[in-house]
Structure 1
Amino acid sequence: MHQQVYHSYDIQAWEQRWFAHQNSSYGLMQQVAWSVLQRLIALFKEHNISTIAVCCGQGNNAGDGYLLAKYLKQHGFTVDIYAAELGTSQDLQSAHKEAQAENIKIVSGFNFQKKYDCVVDALFGIGLNRELDEKWQNVIYNINEHKALKVAIDIPSGLQANTGQPLPCAVKADYTFTVLALKAGLFTGKAKEYTGVIETISLIPKDSELHAVAQLAPTNITLPTRKAFGHKGSYGHVLVVGGHAEMGGAVIMAAESAFAAGAGKVTVVCHKNHHVAILSRAPNIMLKDINSLSINDIQELLSQMDAICFGMGLGRDEWAKMQYQAWFDLILNSNLHVVLDADALWFLAENPQQMSDKVFLTPHPGEAAKLLNCQITDVENDRIKAIHSLKEKYSGQWLLKGSGSLILENNKLWICTAGNAGMGTGGMGDILSGLAASLKAQFDEEIALHDIVTLHAIAGDELAKDGMHGLQAFEMSKAIYKVINN
């Protein structure tokens, strides 16, 4: 069973249904605090932690913090509480009294009076949907600047629970103990900068009314074994089309990636300016001059292929537009697996069309904004809404690239948790296009798009083992070869 990810509103409604069956909200708060304690005892032993500051806000998340402080004190830790003005919730006030009964020092405000080994964030829960004012921003900056292990209860305060966007800042936690179930905002957008290690505190049974918004893409991917009697014709023929006269690198990287992933044959169609460079790097790549092909030539070529990736380095000038118009409808009518990336997406945005389920579209946020005729900030502020809007407008299968890449495939949403910031460099999308076309050419429906995206991300993690700074896309082929064969 894949790990399910939920919208905060659905989790809150599920929680209310639980309370409606006469289950105690305060009892659940106690369970949360006790469960976090059990995890912290082992963690604190590992990190030799004895002094803890618990930062409590004004809502139920703060109640978890007060009770956790109580339990920590009972287990022999030195604990101080830094607190906002107490809210009116009866559960919160009861938790506050329990902490007071343990003679825990409660300081008004969040100016730390000494150094601590650990700071626990219990300021805001998953209901936060507003931009934090200057006062709360300063509180979060103060927590982040404190040199201590940082632990967030439920979600790092300031992080939007469904989009993964800071509002406009958030606590940078080393560990996040999220309550009841996983939230989408822990895995996409800018979440990875803030969440640290994520563990779920599962306390109540899921009911039939609770529905997931997404699933986490699995990272243990096994490809079908090659048959001993296979030959180059057994493993797919990939066509790579792009390569404007001034942009040859993209098609080279896509083609090399396709071979690294196991394609039997790869043909590149691009401007002839790049043929010498391509053959000098990879003489196993077959070549055709894009300017010399007639419509009949294109149709004949497509009939020989199993998959195509189109648009890498194509350009956006009149020559590129002419090539797009010559190829696009023929590609869509070919019944091949098709990967559309880069400049093909730009032209598609100019002339929207409906795609089949064999077409895989792979925009980054800027390209997605162009496709949706909106701003990049609109995409990034709600990536899940954006990818569903892309599907609604164009059909097809979708990948919205970025940290916590989203994959909407056969009407199921997946979140990729692999990958790293070093992959934010030119050419990574071209590598992914070649990889996707190669694996689809070889395995057809036996491999899913979310598995392909994850393999690409895992290869990036393999490449980044020696450091993320200076990671270059053209080096990915060796990492892909290694990952594919694990």
Structure 2
Amino acid sequence: MQQQVYHSHAIQAWEQRWFGQQNSAYGLMKQVAWMTAQRLISWFDLQFESRNKATVAMCCGQGNNAGDGYLIAKYLFQAGFRVDVYTAPLGMSKDLHAAEQEARESGVRIISGFDFQQNYDVYIDALFGIGLNRQLNAEWQQIIQRVNAQYGLKISIDIPSGLQSDSGQPLPCAIKADYTFTALGLKAGLFTGQGKEYAGAVEVIPALPIDDALEAIAYLSPLTIKLPQRKAFGHKGSYGHVLVVGGHADMGGAVIMAAEAAFHAGAGKVTAVCDAKHHTAILARAPNIMLRDMNALSTSDVQALIAHVDAVCFGMGLGRDDWSKQQFERWFPLIQQSTLEVVLDADALWFLAESPVELNKHSYCTPHSGEAAKLLNMSVAAIESDRIQAIYQLQKKYAGQWVLKGAGSLILQEQLWICTAGNAGMGTGGMGDVLAGMMASLKAQFYEEIHLHEIVTLHALAGDDLAHKGMRGLQAQDMAQAVYRVVNGHTLS
């Protein structure tokens, strides 16, 4: 079963349905705290020589998330760990007061404020839960920064405090956790936007039975992807012919990387159409790529090319000048009228934003947040403030299928997927060109047998494979062999 991801409102409504069945809110708080504490105890026993030597600072805020923290502190203390609770003034919740009282009566030391009296092995964050939707004031920002400055292990309960649970954006700062134990179900903000930077490793505490009214907002793309085996009697015509179109006179690298990625992902044939000045460089690097001079093609030549390929990726290094516009206006209508699998990337998306049209269902668009902002006539900040809403707006406006690239890339087909693979080293020029080439290649080979989110994940896994010795200095031109390994089910990491 695919891992489901929920909007915070869906989680809160789920809780209310549970309480409406005469179940206790405080009972649920205790259940979440108990289950979390048991996971922590098991994990701490592997990390520390003995329980009475491990020191834990529990940081509690003013809401129900703090109630979880008090109870977890109680259970850890009872298990033999040395626990101190640092706390803000209590809020109005009856359950919060009850949890604080239980912790106090168990013997846990409760200290007002967040001036840590010693260095602790572990700092547990129970400051804010999923209901936080406002910018933190200066005092809370200082508290979060103080926790982050400590050297011990950081663990967040439910969501790293300060992180918006649906968008993954800090408000404006958040706890940088090594681990997050999230209650009931996975929240989208743990995986997209800046969520990966703050959440660390994520584990669910499943304290409620799922009911029929609970609906997922997205699914996590599986990390294990098996492509169909090749037939012994196959030949180059069996595995798809990819057309890579772009390559302005001043920008040849993007076409090279896309075309190489298409071959290394398994395409039988690849043709690159670009300015002829790049042909020598392409042949020197990859002599198996067939070449056509974009400037020498008539409209009938373009039609003939389109008729003899299975997929096209269009826009890499196309440019945005008058020549680029003329090429877009010639190629784009012919591509859209075809039945090809079509990947639109880079400058093709820029021209699409200039002249919006409805795309056919075989069109796959791959903007980053800057390109998405252009397509929706919004700011980049607005895109990043709600990436999930942005990708739905893109599909509503243009149709087609969409990938909103970035940390925790979003993929919208019939449903929404989140890619959890990938790394910060992939934030470098050319990675998008590699993705476009892979998408065209795998769609040319498998059509509906492979899903868009699987291709995005394979690309991210290739990036992880390339980064097995370090993320700094990764270059997209080195992705080819990593792509080859992941599509064959092998990695170095």
TM-score (norm 1): 0.99
Task: Give yes or no for the alignment of 1:435 onto 2:433.
Answer: no
Alignment of 1:20-419 (within 5 A): 20-48=20-48, 50-410=54-414, 412-419=415-422
Alpha-carbon distance in 1 for matches of 2:9, 2:441: 40
List per-residue Cα deviations over 1:442-475 (Å, max 9, x = no partner).
0011000000000000000000001000000000
Alignment partner of 2:86: what SS? strand
Task: Give yes or no for the alignment of 1:445 onto 2:409.
Answer: no
Alpha-carbon distance in 1 for matches of 2:24, 2:308: 66
Task: Give yes or no for the alignment of 1:479 onto 2:466.
Answer: no
Alpha-carbon distance in 2 for matches of 1:314, 1:152: 45
Alpha-carbon distance in 2 for matches of 1:104, 1:281: 66
Which residue is 2:13 aligned to?
Answer: 13
Which residue is 1:466 aligned to?
Answer: 469
**Where does structure 2 lack aligned partners over 5 or more consecutive residues?**
none
**Where does structure 1 lack aligned partners over 5 or more consecutive residues?**
none
Give the aligned residue type for 1:276. Answer: T
For residue 115 of structure 1, report the CA deviation from its aligned partner. 0.7
For residue 43 of structure 1, report the CA deviation from its aligned partner. 1.6
Question: Which stretch has the larger CA shift, 359-368 or 97-106?
Answer: 97-106
Give the aligned residue type for 1:7. Answer: H
For residue 346 of structure 1, report the CA deviation from its aligned partner. 0.2
Alpha-carbon distance in 2 for matches of 1:104, 1:485: 54
Give the aligned residue type for 1:95. Answer: A
Alignment partner of 2:433: what SS? helix
Alpha-carbon distance in 2 for matches of 1:447, 1:99: 52
Alpha-carbon distance in 2 for matches of 1:105, 1:283: 71
Give the aligned residue type for 1:370. Answer: K
Which residue is 1:424 aligned to?
Answer: 427
Alpha-carbon distance in 2 for matches of 1:162, 1:190: 11
Give the aligned residue type for 2:279. Answer: H
Alignment partner of 1:312: what SS? coil
Question: Which stretch has the larger CA shift, 71-80 or 450-459?
Answer: 71-80
Give the aligned residue type for 2:287. Answer: P
CA RMSD of aligned residues (A): 0.6
For residue 45 of structure 1, report the CA deviation from its aligned partner. 1.8
Alpha-carbon distance in 2 for matches of 1:466, 1:151: 27
Alignment partner of 1:390: what SS? helix
List per-residue Cα deviations over 1:323-353 (Å, max 9, x = no partner).
0001000000111000000000000000000
Alpha-carbon distance in 1 for matches of 2:215, 2:196: 24
Question: Which stretch has the larger CA shift, 69-78 or 454-463?
Answer: 69-78
Alpha-carbon distance in 1 for matches of 2:118, 2:431: 46
For residue 137 of structure 1, report the CA deviation from its aligned partner. 0.3
Give the aligned residue type for 1:413. Answer: L
Alpha-carbon distance in 2 for matches of 1:239, 1:110: 60
Alpha-carbon distance in 1 for matches of 2:47, 2:139: 31
Which residue is 1:2 aligned to?
Answer: 2
Alpha-carbon distance in 2 for matches of 1:125, 1:480: 39
List per-residue Cα deviations over 1:2-22 (Å, max 9, x = no partner).
000000011001101100101
List per-residue Cα deviations over 1:136-176 (Å, max 9, x = no partner).
00000000001101111100000000000000000011110
Alpha-carbon distance in 2 for matches of 1:68, 1:485: 45
Alignment partner of 1:466: what SS? coil
Alpha-carbon distance in 1 for matches of 2:228, 2:44: 43
Alpha-carbon distance in 1 for matches of 2:468, 2:107: 47
For residue 103 of structure 1, report the CA deviation from its aligned partner. 2.2
For residue 47 of structure 1, report the CA deviation from its aligned partner. 2.0
Percent identity between the aligned chains?
65
For residue 406 of structure 1, report the CA deviation from its aligned partner. 0.1
Alpha-carbon distance in 2 for matches of 1:478, 1:436: 16
Alpha-carbon distance in 2 for matches of 1:476, 1:198: 28
List per-residue Cα deviations over 1:408-463 (Å, max 9, x = no partner).
012x0000000000000000000000000000000011000000000000000000
Question: Which stretch has the larger CA shift, 202-211 or 245-254?
Answer: 202-211
For residue 222 of structure 1, report the CA deviation from its aligned partner. 0.4
Alignment partner of 1:287: what SS? strand
Alignment partner of 1:124: what SS? coil
Give the aligned residue type for 1:387. Answer: I
For residue 46 of structure 1, report the CA deviation from its aligned partner. 2.2
Alpha-carbon distance in 2 for matches of 1:407, 1:388: 10
Give the aligned residue type for 1:21. Answer: Q
Alpha-carbon distance in 2 for matches of 1:43, 1:149: 12
Alpha-carbon distance in 1 for matches of 2:360, 2:260: 27
Alignment partner of 2:367: what SS? coil
Give the aligned residue type for 1:471. Answer: L
